Amino acid sequence: MTIIEIKIACYLYERFTDYDKEYKKLRAVNQINLNQRDHTIILIHWLRGWGCRQFKTENNEMSIKNIMEWYSLDSSNLPVFELQLIHCNDDSLNKTSGIFNRLSNTKISERRRNNKNIDVTVGPVGAAKILFALCPNFYSPWDKPICIKKGYQSNGISYVKFLNDIKQSLKELKAECDQKGYNIEDLPKKIDRPNSTLTKIIDEYNWVTLTRQCNPLEILRLSR
């Protein structure tokens, strides 16, 4: 993964999706605090906009209540808002597995099957998105195609591996940034994605290359 590949992928991401619209609304809140009901409502609205259909409107109060309860128990285990994944230590990452699993298993709605109510949980994709919303410099979203194509399981251990892999990619990008004479923290602005964190530009790259199966270098070749 190189800066030019990241730049092309992020350019395509912006044009393939309308996800930026909802993301900018979320980031306008700055630091999400799920002890606040209005912040929890904003979060759930954003999750629906980002394709999390498990957050059913008819179970809205259940979703709000249970997400807030999870947060009240686990918020003290989250990294500080400003912490960048590339600069984190192992302790911060090791806590993530349990946080992820507890959030993923949190009930947020129900569905009917064979005349019975079946619990619907946040799930691994929803959990990654919520953690990203809470700590956008540290956590990253993922989706099923990314998990499958990279060989991750839908659990906390694999999510930690995913974050470690992102951290390694960021270290490689940092080396290239250093060669070009600027800090990696400036990379989003350099590639015209000033509202994206470092973890998000990696997610945009993954979404374009894995979920949408586009090769940035092939696109670059064809454009010349």
Average pLDDT over residues 14-39: 92
Tokens of 74: 């686990």
What does the pLDDT read at residue 219? 79
In this predicted model, what pLDDT tens digit does every residue of 3-19 receive, in sequence order? 999 999 999 999 988 88
**In the chain, domain spans:** 3-79+86-223
DSSP designation for 86: G
In this structure, which long-range contacts are made by residues 38-43, counting pairs with CB atoms below 8 Å and at least 24 apart in sequence?
Answer: 40/64, 40/67, 40/68, 40/71, 43/67, 43/130, 43/133
Average pLDDT over residues 147-160: 95
In this predicted model, what pLDDT tens digit does every residue of 82-114 receive, in sequence order? 999 999 988 889 899 999 999 999 999 998 888
In this predicted model, what pLDDT tens digit does every residue of 157-210 receive, in sequence order? 999 999 999 999 999 999 999 999 999 999 999 999 999 999 999 999 999 999
User: How far is the C-alpha of 135 from the C-alpha of 130, rounded, in Å?
Assistant: 9
Percent of the chain with pLDDT over 70: 99
The residues facing 116 across adjacent strands are 113
Tokens of 42: 């904003």
